[in-house]
Amino acid sequence: EPEVTQTPSHQVTQMGQEVILRCVPISNHLYFYWYRQILGQKVEFLVSFYNNEISEKSEIFDDQFSVERPDGSNFTLKIRSTKLEDSAMYFCAGAGVTDTQYFGPGTRLTVL
Amino acid sequence: QKEVEQNSGPLSVPEGAIASLNCTYSDRGSQSFFWYRQYSGKSPELIMFIYSNGDKEDGRFTAQLNKASQYVSLLIRDSQPSDSATYLCAALSGSARQLTFGSGTQLTVLP
B103 — pLDDT class (breaks 50, 70, 90) = very high
The C-alpha of A34 sits at a distance from chain B's nearest C-alpha, in angstroms, of: 10
Burial class (CB in 10 A: 0-12, 13-18, 19+), A24: middle
Residues A79-88 have pLDDT tens digits of 999 999 999 9
* Average pLDDT of the residues of chain B: 94
A100 contact B CB<8A: yes
pLDDT number for residue B76: 98
pLDDT number for residue B70: 96
* Residues in chain A within 8 Å Cβ distance of B49: 99-100
Contact between A104 and B88 using a beta-carbon 8 Å cutoff:
no
At CB < 8 Å, which residues of chain B contact A?
31-32, 34, 36, 42-46, 49, 88, 90, 92, 94-104
Q: Select the residue of B34, B99, B102 nearest A45 (Cβ to Cβ).
A: B99
pLDDT higher than 90, residue B1 = no
Residues B32-78 have pLDDT tens digits of 999 999 999 999 999 999 999 999 999 999 999 999 999 999 999 99
* Average pLDDT of the residues of chain A: 94
pLDDT number for residue A78: 97
A96 contact B CB<8A: no
pLDDT number for residue A70: 80
* Residues in chain B within 8 Å Cβ distance of A42: 101-104
Residues B18-32 have pLDDT tens digits of 999 999 999 998 989
Substitution target from B43, B89, B92 for chain A, most A beta carbons within 10 A: B43
The C-alpha of B32 sits at a distance from chain A's nearest C-alpha, in angstroms, of: 8
Q: Select the residue of A31, A44, A102 nearest B97 (Cβ to Cβ).
A: A31
Contact between B95 and A56 using a beta-carbon 8 Å cutoff:
yes
B54-to-A88, B14, B73 alpha-carbon distances in Å: 36, 27, 10
A2 — pLDDT class (breaks 50, 70, 90) = confident
Q: Name the residue among A75, A22, A20, A71 with its Cα closest to residue A50.
A: A75
pLDDT number for residue A52: 87
Handedness of CA A41, A42, A46, A52 (dihedral sign): positive
Pseudo-torsion of CA A59, B1, B37, A32, nearest 10°?
-40
Pseudo-torsion of CA B98, B59, B57, B60, nearest 10°?
-90
The helix or strand, by DSSP H or E, that contains position B32, with its residue range, turns out to be strand B32-38
Average the pLDDT over B84-93 and give the result.
95
pLDDT number for residue A27: 85
Which DSSP string corresponds to B85-106?
A: EEEEEEEEETTTTEEEE---EE
B95 — pLDDT class (breaks 50, 70, 90) = confident
Residues A25-60 have pLDDT tens digits of 998 888 999 999 999 999 999 999 998 899 999 999
pLDDT number for residue B36: 97
